[in-house]
Amino acid sequence: MQDIRLGAFEEMVLLSIAALLDQAYSVSIRDEIRKVSDRNVKLGMVHSVLNRLEKKGLITSHLAEATKKRGGRRKRYFQITHSGKVALLQTRNQREQLWNTIPDFVFKGLSYDRL
């Protein structure tokens, strides 16, 4: 098994790409992350992470048709690769194992909605 460690932000980006299916490009990814986190995510951060992920081979990209909105420039769409999926699953697996070891009484009386 390959062992690729994902950073927290990398994981979020990767998840967003997976969630957005074939609509994942930098701006939409940024918006997606903004939706779920209250961090003011900057385009530059997303870009550099995308660049890193692509280098690691976790995502691939291709240029799509030109759109008027962007001054006639094409969008670069991202897709998650097989190893990307593996990496996500691995991370999730690790997390869940850890979650499972936590006894229930630790979080007793807390629920996310009421935080």
Partner 1 sequence: MTDFNSPPRWATRLLKWYCRSEIFEDLAGDLEECYHENWELYGKKANLIYVIDVFKFIRFYTVKNPKMGSIIHSLRLLSNYSKTSVRNIFRNPLFSSINIFGLAICMSIGLLVIAFLFELSNFDGFHEDKENIYRVISTYQSPRNGTLELATSSVLLGQKMEEQTPGIKSLVILNRTLSGDVKKGNNAVPIRGLYASKSFFDVLSFPLIQGNPKTALQQPNTIVITTTLAKKLFDDEPLGQIVEFNDDKHFEVTGIVEDPPMNSHIKFEALVSLQTLENEAQNEENPRLYRWSSMWDSYVYLKKEVNTSEDQIYSSMQQIADIENKTLQTYTIEVGLQKLSEILPGKNLSNQIGPAFQTSQLYFIIGLTLIILISACFNYTNLSLARSIRRAKEIGVRKVLGAKKGQIFGQFIIEAITIALISLSFSLIFFYLIKPYFLSLDESMSELVKLNTNWNLLPYFLLFAILIGLLAGFMPSILMSRLQTLLVLKDTGKVKLFKQFNFRKTLIVLQFAICIVLIISTIGLYRQYQHAVLFDLGYQTEYVVNVDLQGNDPEILSDAFATLPAVKEVSNSQMIMSTGDVISTRAKYNDPLDSARVEFNAVDEHYLPLHNIELAAGKNFGARDYLKEIPSVIVNAPFLQRFNIGSPNEAIDEIILLDGQKMQIIGVLENLHHSTIFSPIHAFALVHDPTAAKYLNLKIDPTQSMTLMSNLNDVWKKIDPVHTLNAEYFDDRIKSTYEEYAVMMKMVGFLACIAILIAAMGLLGITIYHVETKLREIGIRKTFGASENQLVLHFSRGFLILLFISAILATPASYYFLDSFVISQLTYPASKQYIEFSLGLILIFSLGFLIIFWQIRLAAKRNPVEVLKNE
Q: Measured from the CB of residue 20, what is the shortest distance to partner 1 in angstroms?
A: 15
- Rule CB under 8 A: say whether 71 interacts with partner 1: yes
CB of 9 to partner 1, least distance (A): 16
41 binds partner 1 (CB under 8 A): no
Does 19 bind partner 1 (CB under 8 A)? Our answer is: no
Query: What is the 3 state secondary structure string of 17-82?
Result: HHHHHHHCCHHHHHHHHHHHCCCCCCHHHHHHHHHHHHHHCCEEEEEEEECHHHCCCEEEEEEECH
Taking CB under 8 A as the rule, does residue 73 contact partner 1?
yes
Candidates 17, 25, 41, 91; binder of partner 1 (CB under 8 A) is 25
